[in-house]
Amino acid sequence: MAQSVPASLKPFNTFGIEATCNELLSFNDEQAIQSWLRDSQPDIDSLFILGGGSNLLLLDHIDLTFIQPNILGIAYQEKGASDEVLVTAGAGVNWHELVLDTLSNGYSGLENLSLIPGNVGAAPIQNIGAYGVELKDCFVTLRAVELTSGEVKEFSAEDCQFGYRDSIFKNSLKGRYVITQVTLRLSKKLQPHIDYAPLKQILADKTEITAPIISQAVIAIRRSKLPDPAKLGNAGSFFKNPVITVEQYLTLQNAFPEMVAYQIDNEHYKLAAGWLIEQAGLKGYRQGDAGVHEKQALVLVNYGRATGQDILNIAKEVRDKVLELFGVQLEPEVWIIGEQKIF
C-alpha cells in the first residue's frame, strides 16, 4: 500500500481543480485492501473511492480519505470453438488501454467505447456508454471488496441493476464496495453498432468495416467534439440527458418543434441536454475561468484557475436557466465531492 497526503488533487481530476483530501491511499491488489480494512477499521463514511478522476468535481479541502485501487492486469479466456472470448481486467487499468488491447488481440465488442477516460473499476458505476453501446451490453461479472466487512463479492449484470448512466453502485450500494476487477464478453466476430448518425456518415465510404476501423472513427468523432482534458480541464458531459414522460414531451414538442429527443419506450423520451443548454443561449458562456464549452454545451470547462465552486456556480446557472425555459430539471452526471450541495 502506498500512502501519501497529497499537496494537491489537481493531477487526480480531469477538471484540473486544486483540491486536497485528508489522505490518499493506493492499493495494488485486493488483499492489500482487505488487510488495510482489517487493520484500520475505518468509518466507511470517511472514505472516497478514486478511479481516474474523470467524472468528478472536487470542492476545496475534502474531509475524506481517498482510496485508489491501482490493480492492473488484463487476461483473456477463449471459449472453445465458439467466437466468444472473456476478458478480465484490473480496476486500475486505463479504460481506453483496455479497449486498444482487446482490438490488438483481434477481439471486438468495446470499439464504440473507445477513448472514454477513466479506469476499468469505474466503468460499471455509471454503466459507461457512447455511440449506441453501453458497458452492460458486454458485461459478465465484477469482483468487489465490501468496505464494512472486507469480504469479496461477485456481482452479475442483474445484481448491478444497470440503467442509463446508472447502477446499484450509485444507489443503494453507493460508496459501499471497491470494485477490483471486471469481466466482459467479447467476440472474435464483429457485430457492428454503427447506427449513430455521425458514425454512419464517417464510415460510409469504407469498403470494409472492422472493429479497429469503428474504433478509429469513434476516436476521430470524439476528438472533433470533446475537449481533451489534458489541454482544457473538464469531466465530459456535466449533466445527464433528462428523461421525461410522453405528456411532457408532447407539450414541449409543441412549443419547440425542432427539439432534439429520442423515444426510449412507450412512456418516456430522452432529451439532448446539450441542445437545451444551447437553446438557453449558454453555449460558450464564461464567468472567469469557468465556462460552458464553446463547441459542446453539455461540457463545463476549467480555462485554467477555476475553483470547484466556480464550476458549480456555472452549473447552477445552467440548471436554473434550463428549468426556467423548458421546465426540465437537469441532474449532474458528474460526482460533486465536498461540502457544498446544490443539486
Ligand X SMILES: Cc1cc2nc3c(=O)[nH]c(=O)nc-3n(C[C@H](O)[C@H](O)[C@H](O)COP(=O)(O)OP(=O)(O)OC[C@H]3O[C@@H](n4cnc5c(N)ncnc54)[C@H](O)[C@@H]3O)c2cc1C
Catalytic residue ranges: 165, 237, 333
- β 177-187/139-146 pair status: antiparallel
Question: What is the closest distance, in whole angstroms, from the C-beta atom of residue 121 to ligand X in the complex?
Answer: 3
Site string for ligand X, 90-119 (x = CB under 6 A): -x------------------------xxxx
Distance CA 177, CA 169 (A): 8
Question: What is the closest distance, in whole angstroms, from the C-beta atom of residue 224 to ligand X in the complex?
Answer: 13
What does DSSP assign to residue 94? B
Compare residues 98 and 128 and give the one whose CB is closer to ligand X. 128
Compare residues 52 and 308 and give the one whose CB is closer to ligand X. 52
In Å, how far from its chain's centre is CA 125? 8
What Å distances lie between residue 290 and 59, 232, 312, CA to CA?
Answer: 14, 11, 9
Q: Which of residues 170-189 bind ligand X (CB under 6 A)?
A: 178-179
Compare residues 51 and 252 and give the one whose CB is closer to ligand X. 51
* 300 lies in the site for ligand X, by CB under 6 A: no
* 25 lies in the site for ligand X, by CB under 6 A: no
Compare residues 37 and 128 and give the one whose CB is closer to ligand X. 128
Among residues 236, 291, 308, 332, which is the contact residue for ligand X, using CB under 6 A? 236
Q: Which of residues 200-219 bind ligand X (CB under 6 A)?
A: none
* 123 lies in the site for ligand X, by CB under 6 A: yes
CB 282 within 8 A of CB 293: no
Distance CA 240, CA 331 (A): 6
The cell numbers describing 3, all together, are 500512502
CB 59 within 8 A of CB 308: yes
Compare residues 165 and 321 and give the one whose CB is closer to ligand X. 165
Among residues 16, 90, 109, 121, which is the contact residue for ligand X, using CB under 6 A? 121
Question: Which residue in 50, 63, 46 sits closest to 2, CA to CA?
Answer: 50
Among residues 9, 19, 58, 125, which is the contact residue for ligand X, using CB under 6 A? 125
* 226 lies in the site for ligand X, by CB under 6 A: yes
Question: Which residue in 68, 124, 56, 66 sits closest to 95, CA to CA?
Answer: 124
What Å distances lie between residue 263 and 22, 194, 250, 268, 327, CA to CA?
Answer: 45, 18, 12, 6, 19
* 58 lies in the site for ligand X, by CB under 6 A: no
Compare residues 303 and 335 and give the one whose CB is closer to ligand X. 335
SS3 56: strand
* 56 lies in the site for ligand X, by CB under 6 A: yes
* 235 lies in the site for ligand X, by CB under 6 A: yes
Among residues 17, 24, 47, 50, which is the contact residue for ligand X, using CB under 6 A? 50
Among residues 109, 229, 274, 291, which is the contact residue for ligand X, using CB under 6 A? 229
Question: In terms of DSSP H, where are the helices of the chain?
Answer: 30-40, 95-104, 157-160, 197-203, 211-225, 246-255, 273-279, 308-326
Residues of this chain that interact with ligand X (CB under 6 A) are 14, 48-56, 69, 91, 116-119, 121-123, 125-126, 128-130, 178-179, 226, 229, 234-236, 335
